[in-house]
Amino acid sequence: MIQSVAFIGLGAMGYRMAAHLTKHFSTVLVWNRNFEKAEKHAAEYGTQAVTLNEAVQADIIFSCLPTSQDVELLMTELELKPGSVWVDCTSGVPASAKTLAAQLKLKNVDFLDAPVSGQTVGAENGTLTVMVGGDAAAFDKALPAMQTFGKLIKYVGESGAGFAVKAVNNMLMAVNLCSVAEGFTTLKAHGVNLNEALDCINASSGKSMVTETVLPQRILNRSFPLTFALPLLAKDTGIALDLIRDAKLSAPVIALTQSLIQAASDLSEKDSDFSTAVKMYESWSKITIE
Amino acid sequence: MIQSVAFIGLGAMGYRMAAHLTKHFSTVLVWNRNFEKAEKHAAEYGTQAVTLNEAVQADIIFSCLPTSQDVELLMTELELKPGSVWVDCTSGVPASAKTLAAQLKLKNVDFLDAPVSGQTVGAENGTLTVMVGGDAAAFDKALPAMQTFGKLIKYVGESGAGFAVKAVNNMLMAVNLCSVAEGFTTLKAHGVNLNEALDCINASSGKSMVTETVLPQRILNRSFPLTFALPLLAKDTGIALDLIRDAKLSAPVIALTQSLIQAASDLSEKDSDFSTAVKMYESWSKITIE
Amino acid sequence: MIQSVAFIGLGAMGYRMAAHLTKHFSTVLVWNRNFEKAEKHAAEYGTQAVTLNEAVQADIIFSCLPTSQDVELLMTELELKPGSVWVDCTSGVPASAKTLAAQLKLKNVDFLDAPVSGQTVGAENGTLTVMVGGDAAAFDKALPAMQTFGKLIKYVGESGAGFAVKAVNNMLMAVNLCSVAEGFTTLKAHGVNLNEALDCINASSGKSMVTETVLPQRILNRSFPLTFALPLLAKDTGIALDLIRDAKLSAPVIALTQSLIQAASDLSEKDSDFSTAVKMYESWSKITIE
Amino acid sequence: MIQSVAFIGLGAMGYRMAAHLTKHFSTVLVWNRNFEKAEKHAAEYGTQAVTLNEAVQADIIFSCLPTSQDVELLMTELELKPGSVWVDCTSGVPASAKTLAAQLKLKNVDFLDAPVSGQTVGAENGTLTVMVGGDAAAFDKALPAMQTFGKLIKYVGESGAGFAVKAVNNMLMAVNLCSVAEGFTTLKAHGVNLNEALDCINASSGKSMVTETVLPQRILNRSFPLTFALPLLAKDTGIALDLIRDAKLSAPVIALTQSLIQAASDLSEKDSDFSTAVKMYESWSKITIE
């Protein structure tokens, strides 16, 4: 029976995810490096802004930070409570999940890698997808807490499996981002009406989340709203490539796409949305996808 | 006002498409190289099986053949009727469409490149997507006939534009086919539950038509039903690459994918479904995507 | 017995190649679109600057123009002499060679595709490599004339074979250019001394013409002297890719490299040497290869 | 002043390398896991076959093993002598060199990563190239010993730099292997005489060690002699890709080539020479490069 939950890391995602916890749990502790944000969250949602060491005394501890390294660094400072479950919603590194899970196991704490998808709108509405790796019993224990902000919550395998699924998902999106940039540049070079072409493709086998939402809502209208930074996508594609290297597999399209997204990220201005990767292609062809 | 329509090429798609024409037109002529198939169609749907030269006397002439070359060869034999519109539903070559449109224009016949998507089930139900290039007035003229079998019918640009959109669409699908094979091989190598992973991805940004239908319905269940042959997909990816070369563009992901699909096609057995392209990856990794 | 030879196209290569002809032939006709250059050549080397129609009355006619299209355009204007041999030293298109050879055959003129390598220094010293496609008897006939400027002169096959070898050669060079840029950027990022590393590689299996000459003489010293323009290399890589498409082959490394060189060319300033392709990589990594 | 030297790992390379040490040093200790080989070496060259712990009491200790992991495992068992220098000629992992160098430094032992190139013939003749990373003073100390088997011996940077240069060198060779397979398949498909084409390319800018030796001596004559196993090349390309990932660089041609060599290795039979990588291409095109 979960008595208390905590949420560590109140960024664009975490701030909204933590808000749902109060609907189901009376004790919701929050902590953020910039502590004013935690206090704001407490005032707004009735959570309790506490110190990090207090937060990790909860039965279920959520974390949502930029990278696995951030989680590792933060964890070294802490005294955890035996019997608790740490649910890390960071888009992290599978190898790091395995290490942390093994370390926490020694202290009788379970570590679940539980990255989410659905962006800020999904966090707002509590409709996120959560892909979870780790101990199956710990998954069952943490499930009620994850259900407050998640709609589709899946146990995908042992420690690292959740992070692996997220990395591959984002990689597939990156591949679509590149190939759609290439394909639509080509169509425009040949005088094709891009909006009509897009309608056709979205009713055909070439359809993807990129053609359905990213292309019309971010690229064709030239808005490129920052919701997911390009360097973070570059990081995620790197995680996917590392999974391939670890398993000594051959994955030419993914390997190439990782290089392209890395290059696009290196060329991009600070705080660029992932969708601006298409601008690298536009600089080559002098064709604007609009 | 359309008095008569004809349909040339009663393959898996054409046979079903032509069947819809009788609902709206009293005179529907059909022709097929294997003429028994035309006679069967006439008996089944009340169309008229006629000679090729009789067929092309219709106001609107549809064709649906394996390649643009087939259409070109067939057309050299024919005496066309001034004022008619030829609507070619082949997945063809844009440059060929331009040439044919220019040649037919001299005889006062319009040529529309109007490839379709939606597979045999869409042809059966009259819910195909039709992407049309050519003269805009000819498009308007042929629209009522296309509406009998099409649900989304779009004018995408001048001659060749329809073929270009189809080639790019199929190319995007091919990219997804390769990257999904790579990504799911990787997940399996890391012990991830593929079915749960797929559910997560289909609710996330990595989603595509390939993850939604091809992977669960053809690959994971190892059925690989032949509905679209791998060599035809290789042909279509080649058309897309030629469009890129014509425009002197840089499209690394598409160029690489064309090579991979070509290799997979070269390695495949006769009459293999396009989805069997994943078997090339499986032969590398010794991992079966199931 | 060759009585007269002509040279059409006195660019950086042609000007020097034509100069060698006077050593072995008494009648050497020259023509250039900018005719002053032809007159300068005549004054300098004792050749005769004549009209284009006079030039093509020679027994052996050499041409050396930027592209096959230039040769085709020029040839349409001309009345050729039966029994002569046209030796085209352009880095041209194999399909064009086949067409021109067939057309000229009707007029009893042989067409050899005979591109050269060795750069301006080889043209100066008469030590070029000449790779020749076309009729074998015509090759024998033209050989003495080619020997004036060539050191290694090879009959490599039927019409188009010479152009094909040149395109593949330049493609292999382009692949090395890209991979060397990638490899040396990587070494520098890891603090390796590039000059010492280069010495090692030039004594090892990674050695290529690019590591032996292009890297030390053009890139590491940041000189990038213009001797072969990047857009021409992009053109040549395109010819190689078209050969692959024509034969329906799978060539992933070449296909990718074509895209990269195309992108680098699109990004480059006018009149950039081919070696400046590395600057695209440098713009990605912010690492200068020096 | 070096009093004694040792050589650990008497494989095809090490056996020959160790033989040169007796010319300049009176005390040469050798060890091999299969100890009969060490005894054979002692009998043949006047070295002393000793236990591993005796061997590592030498002033300079050479090792030459299949992988860095082998070196790490072996080293855990040992008590080293302060003041000695360990020179590892394995084609190893840069990160491992950094770790080992730091660990040995604590025991006042220097570790140099000093991979070699030149194959067995170079080891036989004492004409190897040695690319060395690590402490510069230790390099000076070990130089006389390295000079017995090396011709070109270069200090390329800090720990790991030697391994990095070797990995990049082998990667460049792998890129050439793939692109040459692609290019020559293409030429053959177009009816070009491969031997004549090769002569032209070897006199032109497309030349590389692969076109000069690998293609004529191993592939065109279909001999594929096993001197360097394909899985080891796959390993080396992986090391190069890891260097790229570590530095967060974009290297599309290398990334793709790594995938292709990995696939070729996965498809190859046991004990296949690296040159058999071309057989993957031949299985695609049904064209034999001969």
Q: What is the mean pLDDT of residues B223-228?
A: 95
Q: What's the confidence (pLDDT) of residue B2?
A: 86
pLDDT in tens, A111-158: 999 999 999 999 999 999 999 999 999 999 999 999 999 999 999 999
Q: Do D161 and C203 touch (CB under 8 A)?
A: no
pLDDT in tens, D172-209: 999 999 999 999 999 999 999 999 999 999 999 999 99
In tens digits, chain C (290 residues) has pLDDT values of 788 999 999 999 999 999 999 999 999 999 999 999 999 999 999 999 999 999 999 999 999 999 999 999 999 879 999 999 999 999 999 999 999 999 999 999 999 999 999 999 999 999 999 999 999 999 999 999 999 999 999 999 999 999 999 999 999 999 999 999 999 999 999 999 999 999 999 999 999 999 999 999 999 999 999 999 999 999 999 999 999 999 999 999 999 999 999 999 999 998 999 999 999 999 999 999 99
Q: What's the confidence (pLDDT) of residue C76?
A: 87
Residue B146 within any structural domain of the chain? yes
Residue A290 within any structural domain of the chain? no
Residue recorded with tokens 């660990």: D103
Q: What is the mean pLDDT of residues D221-226?
A: 97
pLDDT in tens, C83-129: 999 999 999 999 999 999 999 999 999 999 999 999 999 999 999 99
- State the Cα–Cα distance between residues D172 and D243, nearest whole angstrom: 14
Count of the separate structural domains present in chain C: 2
Partner residue opposite A252 with nearest CB, options D245, D249, D259: D259
Query: Are D244 and C186 a contacting pair, CB within 8 Å?
Result: yes
- Using a CB-CB cut-off of 8 Å, the residues of chain B touching C262 are 248-250
B238 at C interface, C-beta within 8 A: yes
Residues D271 and D182 placed together within one structural domain of the fold: yes
Q: What's the confidence (pLDDT) of residue A95?
A: 97
- Which tokens in the block code for residue A279? 């601008």
Residues B170 and B129 placed together within one structural domain of the fold: no
Q: Look at residues A108, A126, A158 and tell me which one is the last residue of a structural domain.
A: A158
Which candidate in C37, C166, C235, C279 is catalytic?
C166
Residue B194 within any structural domain of the chain? yes
Residue D146 has pLDDT above 90, yes or no: yes
Q: Do B209 and A206 touch (CB under 8 A)?
A: yes
Partner residue opposite D157 with nearest CB, options C131, C176, C193: C193
Residues D259 and D141 placed together within one structural domain of the fold: no
- Using a CB-CB cut-off of 8 Å, the residues of chain D touching C244 are 182, 186
pLDDT > 70: what percent of chain A?
A: 100
Chains linked to C by 3 or more Cβ pairs within 8 Å: A, B, D
- State the Cα–Cα distance between residues D234 and D252, nearest whole angstrom: 17
CATH code (residue B255) = 1.10.1040.10
Residues D91 and D181 placed together within one structural domain of the fold: no
Residues C87 and C189 placed together within one structural domain of the fold: no
Catalytic residues of A: 166
Residue B290 within any structural domain of the chain? no
Which candidate in B141, B166, B235, B279 is catalytic?
B166
Residues D147 and D10 placed together within one structural domain of the fold: yes
Q: What's the confidence (pLDDT) of residue B76?
A: 87
Nearest to C158 by CA among C98, C232, C242: C98
Count of Cβ atoms closer than 10 Å to residue D199 Cβ: 19
Residue B129 has pLDDT above 80, yes or no: yes
Residues D72 and D39 placed together within one structural domain of the fold: yes
Q: Do D183 and C199 touch (CB under 8 A)?
A: no
CATH code (residue D154) = 3.40.50.720
Q: What's the confidence (pLDDT) of residue D42?
A: 97
Residues D97 and D168 placed together within one structural domain of the fold: no
Return all residues near D160 (Cβ < 8 A) that are at least 6 apart. C190, D94, D95, D97, D98, D113, D133
Q: What's the confidence (pLDDT) of residue C10?
A: 97
- State the Cα–Cα distance between residues D29 and D49, nearest whole angstrom: 6
Residue C259 within any structural domain of the chain? yes
Q: Output the 3-class SS for chain D.
A: CCCEEEEECCCHHHHHHHHHHCCCCCEEEEECCCHHHHHHHHHHHCCEECCHHHHCCCCEEEECCCCHHHHHHHHHCCCCCCCCEEEECCCCCHHHHHHHHHHHHCCCCEEEECCEECHHHHHHHCCEEEEEECCHHHHHHHHHHHCCCEEEEEEEECCCHHHHHHHHHHHHHHHHHHHHHHHHHHHHHCCCCHHHHHHHHHCCCCCEHHHHHHHHHHHCCCCCCCCCEHHHHHHHHHHHHHHHHHCCCCCHHHHHHHHHHHHHHHHCCCCCEHHHHHHHHHHHHCCCCC
**Strand pairing report for C128-133 and C116-117:** antiparallel
Q: What's the confidence (pLDDT) of residue D204?
A: 97
pLDDT in tens, D35-76: 999 999 999 999 999 999 999 999 999 999 999 999 999 998
Taking CA–CA distances from C174, the nearest residue in chain D reads D206
Half-sphere exposure of C23 (CA within 13 A, CB side): 13
What is the identity of the amino acid at B287?
Answer: I
Residue A229 within any structural domain of the chain? yes
Distance between D82 CA and the closest CA of chain C, angstroms: 28
Residues D152 and D9 placed together within one structural domain of the fold: yes
Report phi then psi at B171, rounded to 5.
Answer: -65, -45
Distance between B59 CA and the closest CA of chain D, angstroms: 45
Q: What's the confidence (pLDDT) of residue C169?
A: 98
List residues bridging with A31 in a β-sheet.
A8
Q: What is the mean pLDDT of residues B195-216?
A: 98
What are the residue ranges in chain A where pLDDT is below 70? none
- State the Cα–Cα distance between residues D187 and C91, nearest whole angstrom: 16
Partner residue opposite C206 with nearest CB, options D186, D190, D209: D209
Taking CA–CA distances from C251, the nearest residue in chain B reads B259
Q: Look at residues D131, D159, D187 and tell me which one is the last residue of a structural domain.
A: D159
Q: Do C170 and D281 touch (CB under 8 A)?
A: no
Q: What's the confidence (pLDDT) of residue C2?
A: 86
B252 at D interface, C-beta within 8 A: yes
Residue C202 within any structural domain of the chain? yes
**Residues spanned by the domain of C129:** 4-157
Residues B220 and B119 placed together within one structural domain of the fold: no
- State the Cα–Cα distance between residues A97 and A112, nearest whole angstrom: 8
For residue C113, the SS3 value is strand
Residues B16 and B148 placed together within one structural domain of the fold: yes
Q: Look at residues B125, B158, B191 and tell me which one is the last residue of a structural domain.
A: B158
List residues bridging with A27 in a β-sheet.
A4
> Could you write out the DSSP letters of every residue in A22-88?
TTT-SEEEEE-SSHHHHHHHHHHHS-EE--HHHHTTSSEEEE--S-HHHHHHHHHT--PPTT-EEEE
Residue D290 within any structural domain of the chain? no
Distance between D182 CA and the closest CA of chain A, angstroms: 16
Question: Which segments of chain C does DSSP mark as H helices, in order?
Answer: 12-21, 35-45, 52-55, 68-76, 94-105, 119-125, 136-147, 161-189, 194-201, 209, 230-246, 252-267, 278-285
pLDDT > 90: what percent of chain B?
A: 97
- State the Cα–Cα distance between residues C77 and A211, nearest whole angstrom: 50
- Residue C86's region, left for phi above 0, alpha for psi from -120 to 50, else beta, is beta
Residues C62 and C34 placed together within one structural domain of the fold: yes
Chains linked to B by 3 or more Cβ pairs within 8 Å: A, C, D
Taking CA–CA distances from D281, the nearest residue in chain B reads B263
Taking CA–CA distances from C256, the nearest residue in chain A reads A256
User: Chains A, D: CB contacts under 8 A, how many?
Assistant: 45
- Using a CB-CB cut-off of 8 Å, the residues of chain B touching A244 are 182, 186
